Amino acid sequence: MSNPLADMEKPDVIFCIGTNMTECHPVAATRLKRALAAGARMIVADPRRIRLAEIADLYLPIRVGSDVALLLAMAHVIEREGLVDQDFVAERTEGFAAFRDHVRAFTPEWAAAICGVPAADIEQAAIWYASAERGAIYYTLGITEHICGVDNVQSLSNLVLMTGHIGREGTGINPMRGQNNIQGAGDCGALPNNYPGFQPVDDPRNQEKFSKLWGREISAERGPTKVTALAGAGDRFRAFLIAGENTVVSDPDRAHCEHALRSLDHLVVIDIFPTETAMLADVVLPATSWAETDGVCTNTERRVQRLRAAVPPIGMAKPDWWIIAQLAKRLGFAGFDWTGPDQVFNELCSVSPIYAGLDWDRIDRGEYQWPVPSRDHPGTPILHEGSFPRGRGLFKQVTLRDPAEVVDADYPVWLTTGRRLESYHTRTQTGRAAGIDYLLPEEVLEVHPDDVAAWRLVDGEKARMSSPRGSVTIRIKATRRSPRGTVFCSFSFDDTPVNLLTGSGYDPITQTAELKVCPVRIEAI
Amino acid sequence: MSTTEGPTIELDGEVVAYEPGETLYQIATRARREVPTLCYDPRLEAFGGCRLCVVEVEGIRNPVASCTTQATPGMKVRSSTPALEGHRRTILELVASENRQIEVDPLSGHSSGEFAALARRYELRPGRFAGRKSGASRHDDDNPFILRDYDQCISCYRCVRVCAEREGDYAISVVNRGFATQISTEFGGLLKDSACTFCGQCVQTCPTGALADRKALRAVDLPEPIAKTRSVCTYCGVGCSVDIVTKGERVVGVQPAMDGPANLGALCIKGQFAFDFVQHDDRLKTPLVRRDGELVPASWDEALDRAAAGFRAVVDQHGPEALYAIASGRAPHEASYALQKLMRAGWGLNHIDNCSRA
């Protein structure tokens, strides 16, 4: 997030797109609700009539995968209505003239036909957002889990740059991170393109710095992404070490994924449960869990916070860092002589410029949001106040692309997947928490009541849902949360393995899977 | 404190500065007066319902509720007098007369001991009042998370107000008046059939245990003392601060940190109630190695040796480029840092990613 969570109570116009925040980030959503109670207006764009849509001032029920069309048309309106923040554009950005010419072709009427929402509503959204004193954008995987995920984010970024809604309190472009420490995994350099602190591996200065620090030559080539590695498993890639990910259930195209892991020569899994993925491993190493582990995590607003152990580890479980260090020592590698998590974290701080002002003791109360470049720095709740990392913000001329697969005669229904309030990802944790079953005993497919009738399905009965990659049986639930022609379910339940169906395509830059769009066929059984 | 720069009041004879807009309760609390309250939660709009926080203000005939009275310059305020203390004690005795029990198990919720603490402080005389009682417990609500024991309800409305003002769900409200007062969902049904999301905020602000954490109360008979450990929730990226509630070596519950920077006392159903996976029987308790096609328990030495040997064999045959590691977005920094260092410092490769692309 460019801005802190506390800022979510401060915008006068909120634009949520592709975020089911009341279910996936419920506590953050309480701040938006308070902003609304205090008089803010909210625009929500989402294919489904989610809770946020119900409390929005303006709801845009866009077709899945049509975000770029909506955002281009909003840019068109902002330019046409003279609502561009000319001072901001002049001082902080580049490429605006070409962008302005680019968006002139994309009228609200053009977008209306693609998105399935009225042109007047698109105009209203654009005018509200651009006219705001403090306009803020919030998004989640509904923006990124598309083959055009990067295009979607850049389209939002264009709106921000046009209106200057960035670098100030109550504004910004704010992705809500999904896992407790997914931000931290990136911060720590668990990325194929970055060392810790987002220092690019293909910058020779970084290569030199880390090769020197760690006493061996490190490749200056970006590593393959997980998607590439899974695709090459058993061929180019022969051994995997998977720490705390239930790849088999969480990833798209489950059959492909399971086959990939089975074809490895060697699979080591570190986890807290015998997950579907761990059961494929040659060696399974038991890690300590939350409440058993001292450590650090970074939340979605870049706040670096302490995790503390409250109970001793179960059985023989050990902290991840200890397991990895033991493995490194057995492989003859130097530099893994840590005796506690504080030493690991302090080493991270010493190599990461965004953590340079931090150490184990200084984060005790969770006051700091990175970057914290020096000991006397107070942290950075708001990013991009004076300039952007690249200097000037760059307008990108984005164009609309179809999803990897579109509905046709064989697969006439849009399936979009996501999460539910009561369950978390593949239910390795929430599925083992007493009482959750009371509210969410099984997965259901949300179908508009008119579609239930038109497709000769029965509410509450099971049906077969198929894509070119496989099929699952799933119970039908008639609900007006789904629009006509689009259905929804989560991927949480192993006995409804919906990721057998997904995996139609990947964003060419990030290789994020298009989990939000999958044409399917649904038949009564 | 300087008295010349801003407005002041006289509190129990002492000159105290304040910020315009502050209430007498806020000023008194800051000045370390222990003004009793039951309906007050600093995160909520002042309500003035319980009348315990009354103070005497010179020039005003009756005591005023300090939580709803804003200071004006030069006000002369007394926060504790024999009359006020007597008044407070009587109110507490009236409230206590309606409740089945005063002392409740602290596992009930974060604020559940507030009423009992005041009862002890004011040395309530049992049986002074007797008569009708308001609020009827909802024994029919079989949800596994929130006990609705309204026999213990004192109509402070903190639950209703936190649900509306903080959570924004408006799942519960107050119906009827006087002794017929009842906290209710719309149409009086079960919580699961209402707008309730089981976030637990009502439980954590309830000062009597009328609303209580059913999951935590399962551990009421464990003999060890309750301990709390400040940490961060394990679920989404919001990073809510929590207190992990333990008895001995058992995790028995979670309570929100009221001063958590990300959450200010809020949690959701997952953070509040889905904690017991930690000590679930399914946890991996030993390393496992595959032997004759089966995963079987092994010692750490054996498992680590096997893991290392497997990697070494692949490197010998195919080179280190055949290795790949996936870090977790669920594990702490130290896990991700160690894993990327293993790949880079060990094999010189950037063959590392995390689960954010799924």
Task: Give me the residues of A, 189-248, that contact B with CB < 8 A.
Answer: 189-193, 195-196, 201, 210, 214-219, 221-227, 229, 236-245, 247
For A412-469, what is each residue's pLDDT tens digit?
999 999 999 999 988 989 999 999 999 999 999 999 999 999 999 999 999 999 999 9
**Inter-chain touch B337–A196, beta carbons under 8 Å:** yes
Sign of CA dihedral A429, A433, A435, A441: positive
The predicted pLDDT at position B358 comes to: 64
| B225 part of contact set with chain A, CB < 8 Å | no
Q: Enter the tokens of residue B93.
A: 């005795």
Question: Last residue of some domain: B80, B111, B142?
Answer: B80
Strands B352-354 and B323-327: parallel
Q: Place A517 in a pLDDT band, splitting at 50, 70 and 90.
A: very high
The Cα diameter of chain A in Å comes to 67
- Indicate whether B199 belongs to any domain: yes
Q: Are residues B188 and B233 in the same domain?
A: yes
Any A CB within 8 A of B335 CB: yes
User: Nearest CA to A521 among A445, A460, A461, A449?
Assistant: A445
Q: How many CB atoms lie within 10 A of CB B189?
A: 13
What gap in Å lies between CA B71 and CA B90, rounded to an integer? 26
What are B22's two structure tokens? 């502050």
Q: Are residues B230 and B333 in the same domain?
A: no
**Backbone dihedral region for residue B168 (phi beyond 0: left; psi -120 to 50: alpha; all else: beta):** left
Best B231, B333, B343 residue to mutate vs chain A (most A CBs within 10 Å): B333
- Nearest Cα neighbor of A7 from A173, A182, A187 is A173
Q: Give the model's pLDDT for residue B357.
A: 79
Using the beta-carbon criterion (under 8 Å), do A315 and B284 form an inter-chain contact? yes
B105 and B250 housed in the same domain = yes
Q: Check whether B3 has a pLDDT greater than 50.
A: no
- Say if the Cβ atoms of A30 and B167 lie within 8 Å: yes
Distance CA(A208)–CA(B203), nearest Å, equals 55
Strand, helix or coil for residue B246 = strand
Mean pLDDT for chain A? 97
CB proximity under 8 Å: A 46-65 to B: none
Class of domain A182-355: alpha beta
- The answer to whether residue A308 neighbours chain B at the CB level (below 8 Å) is yes
Residues in A closer than 8 angstroms to B167, CB to CB, are 30, 33
A26 at interface of B, judged by CB pairs closer than 8 A: yes
Fold classification of A413-524 is: Barwin-like endoglucanases (2.40.40)
**Claim to verify: residue B153 and residue B123 sit in the same structural domain:** yes
- In the 8-state DSSP scheme, what is residue A490? E
Token reading at A49: 């009539």
Average pLDDT score over residue span B255-261: 97
Give B172-188 pLDDT, tens digit per residue. 999 999 889 999 999 99
What the block records as the tokens of A456 is 């000769």
Helices (H), A38-115: 51-54, 67-80, 86-92, 96-103, 108-115
Closest CA–CA distance from residue A372 to any residue of chain B (Å): 16
Q: What is the pLDDT of residues A303-315, one digit of tens each?
A: 999 999 999 999 9
Rounded average pLDDT over B49-77: 97
Boundaries of domain holding B40: 8-80
User: Average pLDDT, whole number, for chain B?
Assistant: 96
Whether residues B59 and B150 fall in one domain: no
Question: pLDDT digit string (tens) for A152-182?
Answer: 999 999 999 999 999 999 999 999 999 999 9
Q: Which of B238, B273, B308 finishes a domain? A: B273
Partnered with residue A478 across adjacent β-strands are A447
Give the dihedral sign, CA A382/A388/A393/A399: negative
Q: In this predicted structure, what is the pLDDT of residue B67? A: 98
Q: Give the E-state strand segments of A262-335 in sequence order.
A: 266-271, 283-286, 295-298, 304-307
Q: Does B144 touch chain A (CB under 8 A)?
A: yes
Q: List strand residue ranges (DSSP E) for A419-503, in order.
A: 444-447, 462-467, 470-478, 486-490
Candidates A309, A400, A447, A196; CA nearest to B344 is A196
Same domain, B108 and B29: no
To the nearest whole Å, the CA of A111 is away from the closest chain B CA by 28
In this structure, is residue B283 part of a structural domain? no
Handedness of CA A31, A33, A35, A41 (dihedral sign): positive
* Same domain membership, residue B304 and residue B239: no
Number of Cβ atoms within 10 Å of the Cβ of B125: 11
Which residue in the set A186, A300, A330 is minimally distant from B239, CB to CB? A300
| Residue B252 counted as domain residue | yes
Do B299 and B166 reside in the same domain of the chain?
A: no
Residue B2 above 50 pLDDT?
A: no
Beta-strand pair A13-17/A41-45:
parallel
A14 close to B (CB below 8 A): no
- Residues B246, B141: one domain? yes
Decide if A344 and B337 are in contact by the 8 Å CB cutoff: yes
How far does A408 lie from chain B, in Å, by closest CA?
26
Put simply, whether B326 touches A (Cβ < 8 Å) is yes
A314 and B325 within 8 Å at the Cβ level: the answer is: no
ipTM of this complex:
0.96
For chain A, the structural domain boundaries read 5-176, 182-355, 413-524
pLDDT at B356: 85
What confidence tier does B131 reach under pLDDT thresholds 50, 70, 90?
confident
Say how far apart CA A21 and CA A143 lie, in whole Å: 13
Say what percent of chain B tops pLDDT 90. 93
pLDDT band per the 50, 70, 90 thresholds, residue A494? confident
Sort out which chain B residues have CB atoms less than 8 A from A307's CB and list them: 231-232, 332
Q: Which of B31, B55, B80 is the last residue of a domain?
A: B80
From chain B, pick out residues whose CB is under 8 angstroms from the CB of A179. 236-237, 329-330, 355-356
User: What is the rounded average pLDDT of the residues A479-497?
Assistant: 95
All residues of chain B having their beta carbon less than 8 Å from the beta carbon of residue A283 are 287-290, 303, 306-307, 310
Same domain, B135 and B268: yes
Look up the CATH architecture of domain A5-176: 3-Layer(aba) Sandwich (3.40)
Span B205-246, pLDDT tens digits: 999 999 999 999 999 999 999 999 999 999 999 999 999 999
Q: Report the domain count for chain B.
A: 3
Interface residue A306 vs chain B (CB under 8 A): yes
Residue B295's nearest CA partner among B287, B307, B283, B285 is B287
Q: Between residues 101 and 130 of chain B, which touch chain A (CB distance below 8 Å)?
A: none
Structural element, H or E, at residue B14: strand B14-17
Whether B55 and B140 map to the same domain: the answer is no
Residue A289 has pLDDT above 80, yes or no: yes
Kindly report the pTM of this predicted structure.
0.96
Contact B306 A282 (CB under 8 A): yes
Inside any domain, residue B2: no
What CATH number is attached to the domain comprising B43? 3.10.20.740
| A249 confidence band (pLDDT: 50, 70, 90) | confident
Categorize the per-residue pLDDT at B4 as very low, low, confident or very high, splitting at 50, 70 and 90: low
Cα separation, A232 vs B56, in Å, equals 78
The amino acid that residue B335 corresponds to is A
Same domain for B269 and B295:
no
Residue B41 lies in a domain: yes
